Structure formats: C-alpha cells, structure tokens
Amino acid sequence: MNDAMNYVGLANIFEKKECIIDGKKQVYYEKMDSCFGFKYNFNNDGKNFVALSGKIAGKTIGSDSVYDYADFKTLNELCGENNYTYNYNTFKNMSTYRDYIGDYFTCDSQKRMLVRITSQELLQKIRGTIKDYDDTILNNNTDISQMYSAIKKTIISQDEQIMQILTSLFKNQKVINSSLGLDMIAKLKENIIVYGPTGTGKTEILKRIANIYKIPIVIEDATSLSEIGYVGRNITDMLENLYLAAGKDIEKAQKGILVIDEFDKLSEKDMSSKDHVSRIGVQRSLLKLLDGSTFYFGNKKFDTSRLSVVALGAFTGIVNNDDYSNLSSTDFVNYGIMRELMGRFSKLVAMNSLSKEDIKKILTESDFSPLNTYRLLFESMNIEFSYDEDFIDYIAEKAVTLNSGARSLKTVFDDTISSAMFRIFAGEYSAINLTRPTNEERPYVLTKKR
C-alpha cells in the first residue's frame, strides 16, 4: 500500500491551447479537471502520468500529449497533510484542486509554473479564437468602412494607407471566394508590400485588422525564417500557424492572410555574407509561395493559390530623406530583394513619415497612446488626472529625438512618470497634473490626499 501511495496521487489537469492573438501564435493552458493518477518516469523526462479518474481517465500524459499536469501530490503527502486520514473525499485541500476549472493559464518559464490569466481583454481574445470565421462578413459593404473607422482611432496620420490596405484585402477576399478560375484569381489578387520608417504603424495596422477581421490571419517574423535545410523556421511553419488560426480548417486557411514582418531583413546586398545562402534561399521559397504552390506539413496539403500575402518592412536607408512615396520596384531590387520576388507584389503602400505634430496627434487622439492608457489607469484608482499643452510638446520633442516614431512614445512617457507612480501607489496622493519641467523640476505636480 505504501509503495503504491508513493506513485499514486492527485494532480491538476490542463489542456494545451494554441491560439492566434493579434496575429501571433501563443500557447495557453486551460484548467479542465483535477484527478487521481499514477505518476511514473520513462526516459527520465518526468512527464508521464496515467489518469485514473476524471474527464481523461485512462489517458497517459506524456511529452506528446495535448494535456499537462501540475501540483502533483502523492497520496502519502496528502494523507500526511490531513492527520493521516485516508478518506480521500474529505481531504481539506481538495477544493483548491477544483478551483479555477475552465480558466486559462500562461507558463512562467523563469519560475517554471503556470500562472492564471486575469486580464479580461486577453481572455476575450483567447476565447474568441475558438469561434469559427464568418466569410459572409464580406457580403456587407458597410463592414469595410466600419473597420476603417475603427483602425483610424488607433493609427494616426495614415488614413490613405489604411484605406489602401483594407481595399486590397477586401478585393482579394471577393476574388478568391468567387467562381473564377485560378488563372483569373492569380491575375486579380494583390500581394502587398507596406514600407516606411520605423514606428509609423505598419505592424500595428495589421494587428488591428487581425483583431477585428473575420478571416484567418497570422503575423510572422521574417528574421526567424531560414532556407529548408538550415537551422530555423521555414515557409511551412508559417502556413501551419495560419491553419491553426483558421481553427484547423484547411479550406479557410488557404483563403487567409499571411503577414511577413521585417521583410526588409531578407534583402541581400552583400553577396559575400555568410547568411547569403539562407536569406536568398528564403526569398526563393517565397517565390514558390506567391506563385500558388502546394506545401505539406503533417498529413495536410496547403495550396497557396488563394492566399493573400502582406510584407512589412522599414527598408532603412532606401531613401536619403524621409519621403518614401516615390519608390519603385527597381529601388527594392537595388536594396537586395530579388527582381522575380518584387514582380509578385503588385501593390506598394508607402507609410507617411511622422512629424512632431503627428506625434502630438497620436499622443492625444490614439486609443492606445500612453496618455490615454494612463488616463484609464488613474480613473480606475480614483486619481484625478490632468495635463497641459506644454507637457504634450515636451513628450513629442523627446520622442522625435529618439527617431523611432510613435514606438518611442511609451518609453518616453513611462520614464517621465515613473517616479510619480511610486508615490501614487503608496496611497498618499489624490491627483496628478503633468507639465513641462523647468530646470531640475519634475514634469508633474502631485496633490496630497486631505
């Protein structure tokens, strides 16, 4: 009996969920049950557990299982915690094992533990990935204008660019869902390159589309790709993630949107570079993808003939000034993109460079500017929040000097307000006013509680 009780015990059971959140593949764990089971080691991986009760009774949890377990305690340990009472139904900590069933967790790799997710926004996104995609949304012509209006609230000073990207993607969906033949679809479908200075909103536009679009979409990083035969990820990995984003529906995945971020990093300007073969090899692999070919992963066959592809890149140094508007395909070829590959992209969208006034507009008007996100934080804490025009000028000037567009706003804002946050969290103040500092003064005024 005692020997068995050193191997049989109670564990929390989690089901591994692979989701696409904001166009990126993420892994979460849903707590589905707690059960008794038999834990044993095989090949010393320590991950082998046979469930003896509960929803997955009879299943083995190993390295290739979609299930995982945590908080395992042997019956000897459990009995010891309960004054060596062997009535399993009355263990005092049974209720803690039943807590949070149905909730989602993320893995903290540093602490090697699962942490419960409490963010309601993230939970909504996770649960939203379970829903089927609705192709019929494209039958309603008002949807494109609604999406345009929603994205403009986040991405400032790029109205024409948002409109062009949305128009091309909607056109593609109309074409690939039509009864036209593949030859005609290939002629009408547009693959897009979106380019321009860093921090102007290229990736964010596609993230916003991923949030509200009803079409499978993933955003992949070109810097992680390598030619088949080299260490790294390849084309089929991206397509497999799109298949996942489509709820493992291959038909929907083949009509989805593949976004390749950092596309400019695939350029090959130095033919003697040790990375040359890998980068140029990835470009050749993309040629095959854009031409409409069949790729295989697992036992799945993925035809890219109806796939929409969007490439994003800063292409730093491609122009001598901040005006990207007059670039041609030849400029990209000279930058290091294969001429054959550029020929597969029929739509080039240039982002506007951001001036100080644009930065100010982003700071005050964008839904996701640090000014507006901090406002919501202070409201939740019942802290009165205000600022003046001089403070907006001050933050915009500091952001411009970093030359990273809107991306630098959060860094500048966080750094400016960090010392005030300590005092506010200490509970001593009821209001904060942000203003331009003079001499060695802080850029804020705090009001103490009465």
Domains in the chain: boundaries: 2-128, 135-350, 356-448
pTM for the structure as a whole? 0.67
**86 or 425, higher pLDDT:** 425
pLDDT of residue 251: 92
pLDDT of residue 163: 93
| Average pLDDT for 243-263 | 90
- 47 to 5, 10, 65, 96: CA distances (angstroms): 18, 14, 10, 22
Whether the per-residue pLDDT at 41 is higher than 70: the answer is no
pLDDT category of residue 416 using cuts at 50, 70 and 90 = confident
160-218 pLDDT tens trace: 999 999 999 989 988 998 888 888 888 889 999 999 988 899 988 988 887 777 788 89
Tell me what percent of the residues of the chain surpass a pLDDT of 90: 24
Question: What average pLDDT does the structure give for the chain?
Answer: 82
| Average pLDDT for 366-382 | 86
Give the range with max mean pLDDT: 107-116, 250-259, 271-280, 323-332.
Answer: 250-259
The 8 Å CB, 24+ separation contacts for 151-154 are 151/205, 151/208, 151/209, 151/212, 153/365, 153/366, 153/367, 154/204, 154/208, 154/366, 154/367, 154/368
352-364 pLDDT tens trace: 988 899 999 998 8
pLDDT category of residue 140 using cuts at 50, 70 and 90 = very low
| Average pLDDT for 129-142 | 42
pLDDT category of residue 229 using cuts at 50, 70 and 90 = very low
Tokens (6 digits) for 407: 């991306």
Contact 143, 136 (CB under 8 A): no
Strand duo 104-108 + 24-40: pairing: antiparallel
Burial of 180 (0-12, 13-18, 19+ CB in 10 A): middle
* C-alpha torsion angle, residues 314, 317, 321, 324 (rounded to 10): -40
- Which residues are CB-contacts of 205 (< 8 A; sequence separation ≥ 6)? 151, 155, 158, 161, 162, 165, 194
pLDDT of residue 5: 61
Whether the per-residue pLDDT at 2 is higher than 60: the answer is no
User: Fold for domain 135-350?
Assistant: Rossmann fold (3.40.50)
pLDDT of residue 1: 47
Angular region, 448: left φ>0, alpha ψ -120 to 50, beta rest: beta
Which of 254, 331, 351 shows the shortest CA–CA distance to 295? 254
Q: Which amino acid is at 308?
A: S
Q: Which amino acid is at 388?
A: D
Q: What are phi and psi of 207, to 5 degrees?
A: -65, -40
Q: Picking from 205-209, 227-231, 263-267, 392-396, which range would have the lowest pLDDT averaged per residue?
A: 227-231
pLDDT category of residue 134 using cuts at 50, 70 and 90 = very low
pLDDT category of residue 159 using cuts at 50, 70 and 90 = very high
Whether the per-residue pLDDT at 327 is higher than 80: the answer is yes
Provide the CB-side half-sphere exposure for 415 (13 A, CA): 9
Architecture of the domain defined by 356-448: Orthogonal Bundle (1.10)
Contact 311, 192 (CB under 8 A): yes
Q: Which residue has the tokens 């800063």?
A: 314
- Which residues are CB-contacts of 450 (< 8 A; sequence separation ≥ 6)? 430
275-320 pLDDT tens trace: 444 788 889 889 999 999 999 988 899 999 999 999 999 998 898 8
- 220 to 12, 20, 135: CA distances (angstroms): 33, 11, 23
